[in-house]
Amino acid sequence: MPKLVSGRPDFRKWVDEQPAPKWPLMPLTHITKGIGAADIVQAGEIKPADCTVFGEPLAYFFYGRPAYRVSGDGTIKVEAACPFCFILKAPLIDEAKTIFAFDTGAFSKRLYQHILVDEMQIEDFSLESDTTRPNRIISAVFGSRRSYFDGDLSKIPDPDTITKTWDFHARAYLHLLASPGRNEPDDRICSIEVIFDKSVPLKGNLLAAVVPHTLWEGDNQAPWLQKLQTDGVSVVPYIFVPGRHPEHYHAQLELAVREYYEDRGAI
């Protein structure tokens, strides 16, 4: 069973050698379908759920990027199946159990095996709970928070310029990001994952909820979203037209998050 922490220290040592930029921490994001978003708001917290990768209840977030894709096949016809994004305050990361350089679910499904050797384990790429490491990676690999948010892989430097030949894990990570394989996982490959082993309360942590505009339009506003707004949470709508592929709605959601960040200087 993979571990949440420890593993080989080589990747973490390489990360710690990278300069720490003078950027503030980025917010955390949590994406779920509309039906799950309503449950979260009514419960007032994001609860851990059984995780098949690590074998214990965990709650998953991404650092800065709204990277998670909702599951399901075919077109989306109703708001309950749409992606909703919760944006949470950056200091919340201090309470995380651990942080990973990429999506651990894709690793467990062997989507990275075209680059990573079989002996490399998930925990080898753990950043543990050091909250300086996400920005160190972003600065060294993407150059800026904006390029990281955009998943701009053209900014990734040649591994020979920022690693030594013996930096096996760091070189594998950089080659993985730049790999053009046919069976590429989506942009979660370049998204830093943040894991909690306890419930995350919305109160005091939630900054914004990004939702289909049909739930937040004129007099037609979902009561549970009105409650969030009363508590000081921003409700950010994106355009929902039924019958499109999930990737279309994710692109709309990502654009809304980007504009929210730009307005607040987060990228």
Nearest to 34 by CA among 203, 207, 225: 225
Residue with token string 């998953």:
60
pLDDT of residue 109: 63
What's the confidence (pLDDT) of residue 186? 60
Q: How many CA atoms lie within 13 A of 126 on its CB side?
A: 19
Residue-number span of the structural domain to which 151 is assigned: 10-263
Q: Is residue 1 one of the residues assigned to a domain?
A: no
For residue 55, being part of any structural domain is answered with yes
Is residue 5 included in any domain, yes or no? no
Q: Note whether 240 and 107 are within 8 A (CB).
A: no
Q: Model pTM?
A: 0.94
Q: Which range among 7-11, 74-78, 123-127, 176-180 shows the weakest confidence by mean pLDDT?
A: 176-180
In the predicted structure, residue 58 carries a pLDDT above the cut 50? yes
**Residue 4: inside a domain:** no
Q: What is the pLDDT of residues 147-168, one digit of tens each?
A: 999 999 888 999 999 999 999 9
The answer to whether residues 30 and 199 touch, using CB atoms and an 8 Å cutoff, is no
Counting the structural domains of the chain, the total is 1
pLDDT above 70 coverage of the chain, percent: 95
pLDDT at 110: 61
Contact yes or no for 187/65 (Cβ under 8 A): yes
Distance between CA atoms of 8 and 108, rounded to whole angstroms? 17
Determine the Cα–Cα distance for residues 194 and 62; give it in Å rounded to an integer.
Answer: 6
Given pLDDT bands bounded at 50, 70 and 90, which one contains residue 190? confident
Q: Indicate the average pLDDT of the chain.
A: 92
Q: What angle do CA 138, 139, 142 make, to 5 degrees?
A: 60
Backbone phi and psi for residue 211, each to the nearest 5 degrees, phi listed first:
-140, 160
How high is the pLDDT of residue 182?
43
Q: Is 204 left (phi over 0), alpha (psi -120 to 50) or beta?
A: left
Q: Identify the pLDDT of residue 49.
A: 96
pLDDT category at 223 given cuts 50, 70, 90 is: very high
Q: How far apart are CA 103 and CA 85, in angstroms?
A: 17
Cα dihedral across residues 226, 231, 232, 235: positive or negative: negative
Of 61, 127, 126, 68, the closest CA to residue 89 belongs to: 61
How many other C-beta atoms lie within 10 A of the C-beta of residue 84? 26
Banded pLDDT at 180 (limits 50, 70, 90): low
Structure tokens at 84: 């909703």
Alpha-carbon distance 242 to 262, whole Å?
28
Average pLDDT over residues 215-244: 96
Q: Residue 196, SS3? A: strand
Q: Which of 32, 65, 24 is nearest to 209 (CA)?
A: 32
Q: Which two tokens stand for residue 59?
A: 């709650």
Residue 32 has pLDDT above 70, yes or no: yes
**More confident call, 48 vs 105:** 48
For 92, other C-beta atoms within 10 Å of its C-beta total 20
